[in-house]
Amino acid sequence: MTAPGAVARLEASVRGRVQGVGFRYFITIRATRMGLTGFVANEQDGSLRVVAEGPRSDLEDLLEALREGPASSIVERVNEDWLPYTGHWASFGIESRGHRGD
């Protein structure tokens, strides 16, 4: 069990129909409302990458949003890694990662 208020880092890869469906905006809005920091990006292999930091309970809520996705998406799989909080980001945003559509 995680202590209340404990902070962490979530790194997730989302696979399925997750590009070109508004997924990055969907996650950015959710993460920003929760006060999380980090980024979301399309990857060249067609997946979506999310790195987020903040309270573990909020990150777990974000993970559920990743599994759900926006209405136009089809989420086939979400791989997650939990790491120590770094404090690297000041806000949450969309990053361009070398995908042609970015």
Q: Among candidates 74, 93, 85, which has minimal Cα distance to 21? A: 74
Query: What's the pLDDT score for residue 96?
Result: 83
Which of residues 96 and 94 earns the better pLDDT score? Answer: 94
CATH no. of 7-90: 3.30.70.100
Query: What's the pLDDT score for residue 102?
Result: 46
Active site residues: 24, 42
The reported pTM is 0.90
